[in-house]
Chains A and B, each alone.
Chain A
Amino acid sequence: MANILLTTRCNRSCPYCFAKSEMAGAAPDSRMSWENLIYVADFLERSGRQRVSLLGGEPTLHPDCVDFILHLLHRRFRVRVFTNGVLSPERLEEFRAHLASADVEQLNFVCNLNDPEQTPAPAEELDRVREFLAVMGPWTVAGFNIYRPDFSLDFIFDAVNRFGMKRRLRAGIAHPVPGQSAGFIRPEQLREILDRLFSFRPQFDAFRVQLSFDCGFPICKVTDEQLGWLRRSGGEAHFGCGPAMDIAPDMSVYYCFPLAGYRRRSLFEFDSVQQVEEHFAALRKQLASEVPGIYAECDGCRQREDGVCAGGGLCRAVNRLVREAPIRLSEIEDELAHLRLPV
């Protein structure tokens, strides 16, 4: 699935944000144009792909956000919008008027919720999230980014129940941007994080909420019992790693936010999604040959060799290189810079 970044602006400042450095480097308030949106939609359609995610910054800040969504829906795309739910009253009214009758199978939102106690926000911001969920709850999956080990999920179960949200929680871990010091979950914390996550099993069962993993979780840190429960409860365990294929307003395309600086190209250089995937598969292969994963044990791990697990995510692996082999990393970056496109 391709991610289209509608705008580089965001109206929240999350401590774990791994898009921040990429957004800061873009022109202020860089926005996706109609022409580029139609180009991307055509590009996906001729590649046989009918799923798309809209991201930001905060995508709902784009003045044409509603129109873009309606355009993609009319063209029979399945659309997912990643939002923080902080919408102005005017924008929320647009959503209510134009999107509140959309097919829930064709349109859904992932609303990234922050724990109001651990990540305090102004009361007005929290009110707006609640207002968004009151209108679009049935279209919305809760998203939660874990950036500290003592997190709680109670507020999410409460929101799912109160606002009639989809009974699914998309749990992600805060990723590092290689070489930068934003808050993120370190490899040695992952077992603790996962144990904490699975400690909420009674609530997941009681509220019939399914758990799904975003990228970056290594399979070796999940016990068989935990994995069994996850499968039985209808959740999704995903241990792979992209490419997410993020398309910026300037039509540059990159692997994912944390790896935005690696082999970034213009979408206009490609003829199909398959070519973009091949391009980034080459990046993944090259980096994985240098650093198989986030742990030393990833080297030779059968799950990784079989493609079941990506060794904790490419950005985390590269971050390991930054710390452990900075000279080799700069050599790799030089080699990557000279690699030619296979198009």
Chain B
Amino acid sequence: MILVVAGEKKSYTEGLTIRDLIQIENVETPEYVTVSLNDEFVGKSDFESTVLKDGDTVEFIYFMGGGSSKWH
């Protein structure tokens, strides 16, 4: 099946879950990544049970700090 993952169209095996995809894509800090499937967020507790299908669009959204440090 074809998925669009982080903007790139790629071929994957059928039956993949979001958790599988996180592993395959070597997602950095997987415990803290936000995943959206077809523009809707998927709860972390649903990563294992959400099976992806052909044509799905998946985005990984990462925590990013940066800027100035001593605000607090």
Task: Check if A and B associate.
Answer: no
Q: Which residues of A contact B (CB under 8 A)?
A: none
